[in-house]
Amino acid sequence: MSFSAKIVFAYIFVLGLFFTFLVPPLQKPDEHGHFIRSILLSHGKIILTDKDVELPIEKQYYDLIHDPHLNKIPYHPKIKFDPMWYVRSPFADRGAYQLVRESTWGQFMLPASSYIPYAFGIILARFFHLNAYLTFFTGRLTMFLFVFIWTIFLFRKTPSPFKPILLFVFSLPMLIHQITGYNYDSMQYMMGFSLFVLLLNLLQKNTLSLYDLALIAFTFILFFIMKLSFEPMLLLVFLIPNKKIDTVFSRYLKKIGVVLFIILLVYFLSKSTFYLSASRYTHHPKGINPVLQTQYILSHPFDYLQNFTQSSIRLTKFHLQGAIGLFGWLDYSMDWWIYILFIVVGIYIMYTIKLDKKSRIEKWQSFLILGSIFLTYTFMMTIFYLNWKIVGSLIIDGTQGRYFLSLIPFAMFSFIQLKKRVYPLPKSSWFLLLLTFMLYLIVISVISSIHNRYY
């Protein structure tokens, strides 16, 4: 690992610790539900059954989730977090583990696989009888350390020309914010990055074995089951030239057909728990009806296309800011220059990567990647339109920049393939000094924004 990469990973680790412990509990998007899901998984609850409308959880966790002060902070910027909990006893009394019932409607629509590290942290905290606050932070820290080790592993496995892409994406404050909070995005991000690195490595090979094909299928399955709406990325199966799978085209079709069949079969079987829970989740707000909304789109396709285009243009800045860093419940951000810095650095990275012969793909394959990303974006926007907007609404919203983080490496890779000119890298001594200074300023800006928001 180069010295510049070590600097970036040190920055990720330091900023990750601040995001883990400095941001109060329940102050990241939807942490209430994700924390409940993690607690239930720590008790072995994986799928929803008819009688499990309410399930038992420990009283101290229930009290934390329903703490009136914590729940007011996201909606009242002037209300601050009380740091006096630091002086409390780190251990819970017996009464704290008394079981009370908590509503679980909608929680089991979320895949259990995304919460395993959190559940492990909660089990560990329960073993040491830690109080609710420390248990909450233990779950956060467990996921962060797990993902941090995973990122280092992926970085080491990434072919040399593309390592800067991984460093850039891993260093995004929004990504670090997410992997240090309760959500199902963290595992989805990492499976997306794992798929990216796997495809890069397979492109370097002359031929692919059955093991390689099985690994492709397994990675795609894990990527898809973590979160709905990324299914169009399955088109990336065709990114690998057919001759690498089999020189005879008919045999290639059979092998790739088997791979696709396995992916789709296991995907639908694993998603059965989601569809089971979704079929019982009928608490849609007034005026929202996915079936009628679908009928509206089919009967007014051009109106929806216009609506989609206008909404996408309107959301461009919001999505871009959200992918780089829009924290909490979208209520605080960083200094404006950090956003410009990341955009400039991202573009600069794409123009400094020099491709070797093995790393090049055909132009149509680059457009295949971009097309897959666009279809994924379209699918996601449509899902939000169906499930969150009143029938016939002229506005599509609800999507956020953080949803698209796992797609950034693929987009950068395709643009690198399409570019014609390569700019030289700066001298290492000046580069390291500038890199260290920039990352230091980013950390200071983020810490300042967290402190101003909560303390």
Structural contact between residues 381 and 312, judged by C-beta atoms closer than 8 angstroms = yes
pLDDT in tens, 128-155: 999 999 999 999 999 999 999 999 999 9
pLDDT, average across residues 392-397? 89
**Alpha-carbon gap, residue 158 to 273, rounded angstroms:** 34
Write down the pLDDT at residue 454: 94
**What is the DSSP code (8-state) at residue 426?**
P
For residue 100, what are the β-bridge partners?
57
Nearest Cα to Cα of residue 9 among 159, 148, 153, 169: 148
Structural contact between residues 133 and 61, judged by C-beta atoms closer than 8 angstroms = no
Structural contact between residues 132 and 92, judged by C-beta atoms closer than 8 angstroms = yes
Write down the pLDDT at residue 298: 92
Going by pLDDT thresholds of 50, 70 and 90, the confidence category of residue 28 is: very high
Specify the range with the lowest mean pLDDT, choosing from 107-121, 301-315, 369-383. 107-121
Q: Residue 193: pLDDT above 70? A: yes
pLDDT in tens, 214-266: 999 999 999 998 888 899 999 999 988 888 888 888 889 999 999 999 999 99
Q: Residue 108: pLDDT above 70? A: no
Tokens at 48, concatenated: 């929803």
Q: Which amino acid is it at 411?
A: A
Write down the pLDDT at residue 109: 67
Number of domains in the chain: 1
Going by pLDDT thresholds of 50, 70 and 90, the confidence category of residue 102 is: confident
Q: Which residues of 369-383 are buried (b: 16+ CB within 10 A; e: fewer)?
A: beebbeebbeebbbe
Q: At what angle do helices 249-270 and 272-280 cross, to 10 degrees?
A: 40
pLDDT in tens, 311-351: 999 999 999 999 999 999 898 999 999 999 999 999 999 98
Position with higher pLDDT, 129 vs 282? 129
**Alpha-carbon gap, residue 108 to 49, rounded angstroms:** 10
Going by pLDDT thresholds of 50, 70 and 90, the confidence category of residue 101 is: confident
**Which stretch, 139-143, 355-359, 387-391, has highest mean pLDDT?**
139-143
pLDDT in tens, 35-94: 999 999 999 887 765 555 778 889 999 999 999 999 999 988 889 998 887 778 888 887
Range of the domain at 354: 3-454
Structural contact between residues 346 and 170, judged by C-beta atoms closer than 8 angstroms = no
Tokens at 314, concatenated: 């309107």
CA distances from 93 to 23, 40, 125, 173 (A): 25, 21, 13, 37
Number of C-alpha atoms within 13 angstroms, CB side, residue 140? 27
For residue 55, what are the β-bridge partners?
102
Nearest Cα to Cα of residue 21 among 118, 145, 127, 134: 134
Going by pLDDT thresholds of 50, 70 and 90, the confidence category of residue 281 is: low
H or E segment to which residue 277 belongs: helix 272-280
**Alpha-carbon gap, residue 31 to 123, rounded angstroms:** 18
Going by pLDDT thresholds of 50, 70 and 90, the confidence category of residue 420 is: confident
Q: Which amino acid is it at 441?
A: L
CA distances from 326 to 28, 31, 411 (A): 11, 16, 21
Does residue 392 come out as left (phi exceeding 0), alpha (psi in the -120 to 50 range) or beta? Answer: left
Write down the pLDDT at residue 424: 67
Structural contact between residues 288 and 391, judged by C-beta atoms closer than 8 angstroms = yes
